[in-house]
Structure 1
């Protein structure tokens, strides 16, 4: 039986053989490749390691790069069919605001396809749309 790491390497090779393209960082001006969560399931983050680390540590982006992620939940406008229950001036902790793929395509890191949602709104959207269930049509992970 193949080990987890050898299976992961096989899936990485298959991803590229099948024409998969390693997504680029969603931040404007950054053309680095995103962090790979898991090759076994072709799971990627939205940002490269440099941008991800800078955002987590509160460090400014490198010159020419503009962070996409907002410091508030964009569902304050009710774009998801319900309004975010958290006050607009709430001070979010690191990790409580998520980048969401609007169209459910986790390879489409174009800034126009990303919105910042709090963990509450992101969870509700994901369960409603099927984004959190890779067996449902709503979640599209592919080339």
Structure 2
């Protein structure tokens, strides 16, 4: 399971949100062998006066927070980061300097999904990749 939050300037993200979602989902599918039909993305649009970001970033500065079940290898996580940096630059023209990614992993028993704790669900994909 993965829940993804995308934060950025409203004026920048709104026009490209579908492409951002598609690009980001393709990265998760490829890096984590995640099912194509499992997409949970939320966009948080910020006005310039509500979004302070580090010096050296542009108005394309985007924060990506991914909550997921624990179990992915360090290698697969680093692969995910590289895919996001590469595809955002090549497909969305967003510099890697303007992307920040945070993964937050929790045990399956800390998720409640479809009426059960996630550790009691039969998943149709592997978490340990």
The bucket for the TM-score relative to the shorter chain is under 0.3
Which has the larger share of helix? 2
Q: Compute the TM-score of the two structures, normalised by the length of structure 1.
A: 0.20
Q: Compute the TM-score of the two structures, normalised by the length of structure 2.
A: 0.21
Structure possessing the higher radius of gyration over alpha carbons: 1
